[in-house]
């Protein structure tokens, strides 16, 4: 079967182009340009790469951006004090605290300290609660990115069986909620699987749309996917490689080479969900700056 790539890079670029136009309109009207801040604690390589990509994306579309890089040894009190300052800074429309955080810091405490209206990652309990009630809110960036990717590539989700592997608060659980909503994309019948699901392959083989966010490299194999499925791979793993300059390759939770020939659509890694997460974060920052949620 000839599959089509769900190109997150190209789709994200079209969203950034739209936001760039909105920035021009705001400037022309003498308004305040949206401003995103990111807090990075420590030296995690993947986090650094991701935060730098966010800063670059802001600059490319004309958003203001601030990066606050704190040492690995920073205390929880200091991180909470930084969050407090950003909450009170009228120039900052939205901000994120990049996870994972060093072990001395309680991630949940930090998330709950962020003002819900500035929580552009969409993880605050207030925002997740509004999402559950289908009220206007800042949606979690990765699930929102996947919804935009499906919408803008004309993926029909209505009445389809969507199987999600992974139940994290950041991806698996929210995407299962969004896919079951009475909306487009949405209106799917959703099964949420995880590491304790029995006969997992039997369940995943029923999926018209398979969303994989389990965080294990190469977890989904060809026998777990039915012919003609849409596969969205959220995983991203640095795998040592002698073929690249950097010494590693990025791989997903899905064994792309063996699974792709069975699919109608599949996301690549890299270049699939990752760019869409950043585009959603920018979109959320725009919504926050214009008080649209």
Which tens digit of pLDDT belongs to each residue from 11-58? 999 999 999 999 999 999 999 999 999 999 999 888 898 899 999 999
The answer to the question of whether 42 is labelled as a binding residue is: no
Residue 238: its pLDDT value, please?
Answer: 85
**168 carries a ligand binding annotation:** yes
- Tell whether the model's pLDDT for residue 135 goes beyond 70: yes
User: Averaged over 89-118, what is the pLDDT?
Assistant: 97
CA 239 to chain centre: 21
Region 116-134 average pLDDT: 97
pLDDT (tens digit, 9 = 90+) per residue, 254-283? 999 999 999 999 999 999 999 999 999 999
The CATH class given to the 141-274 domain equals alpha beta
Tell whether residue 167 is among the known ligand binding residues: yes
Domain spans of the chain, in order of start: 30-115, 141-274
Taking the C-alpha atoms of residue 71 and residue 74, their distance in angstroms, rounded to an integer, is 6
CA–CA separation, 122 vs 141, rounded Å? 6
Strand (E) or helix (H) holding 237: strand 237-240
Candidates 200, 180, 177; CA nearest to 189 is 180
196 known member of a binding site: no
Reply yes or no: is the peptide bond before residue 270 cis, omega within 30 of 0. Answer: yes
| pTM for the structure as a whole | 0.95
**CA–CA distance, 142 with 11 (Å, rounded to integer):** 14
Which CATH topology does 30-115 take?
Rossmann fold (3.40.50)
User: At 265, phi and psi to the nearest 5?
Assistant: -140, 145
158-168: average pLDDT:
98
Residues in the chain: 293
Let me know if the fold of 30-115 is the same as that of 141-274. yes
pLDDT at residue 193, rounded to an integer: 98
**Residues designated as active site:** 54, 98, 121
């Amino acid at each position: 079967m000839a599959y089509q790539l769900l190109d997150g890079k190209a789709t994200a670029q079209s969203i950034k182009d739209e936001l760039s136009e909105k920035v021009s309109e705001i400037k022309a009207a003498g308004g305040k340009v949206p401003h995103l801040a990111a807090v990075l604690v420590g030296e995690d390589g993947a986090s650094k790469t991701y935060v730098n990509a966010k800063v670059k994306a802001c600059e490319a579309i004309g958003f203001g951006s601030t990066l606050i890089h704190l040492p690995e040894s920073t205390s929880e009190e200091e991180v909470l004090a930084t969050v407090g300052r950003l909450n009170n800074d009228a120039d900052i429309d939205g901000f994120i605290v990049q996870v994972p955080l060093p072990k001395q810091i309680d991630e949940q405490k930090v998330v709950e300290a962020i003002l819900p209206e500035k929580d552009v990652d969409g993880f605050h309990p207030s925002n997740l609660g509004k999402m559950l009630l289908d009220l206007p809110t800042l949606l979690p960036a990765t699930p929102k990115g996947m919804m935009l990717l499906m919408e803008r590539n004309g993926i029909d989700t209505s009445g389809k069986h969507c199987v999600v592997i992974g139940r994290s608060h950041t991806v698996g659980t929210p995407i299962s909620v969004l896919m079951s909503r009475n909306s487009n994309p949405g209106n799917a019948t959703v099964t949420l699987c995880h590491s304790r699901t029995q006969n997992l392959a039997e369940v995943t083989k029923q999926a018209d749309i398979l969303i994989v966010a389990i965080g294990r490299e190469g977890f989904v194999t060809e026998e777990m996917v039915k012919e003609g499925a849409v596969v969205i791979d959220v995983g991203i793993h640095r795998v040592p490689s002698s073929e690249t300059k950097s010494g590693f390759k990025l791989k997903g939770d899905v064994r792309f080479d063996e699974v792709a020939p069975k699919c109608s659509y599949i996301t690549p890694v890299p270049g699939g969900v990752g760019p869409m997460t950043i585009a959603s974060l920018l979109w959320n920052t725009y919504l926050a700056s214009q008080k649209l949620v």
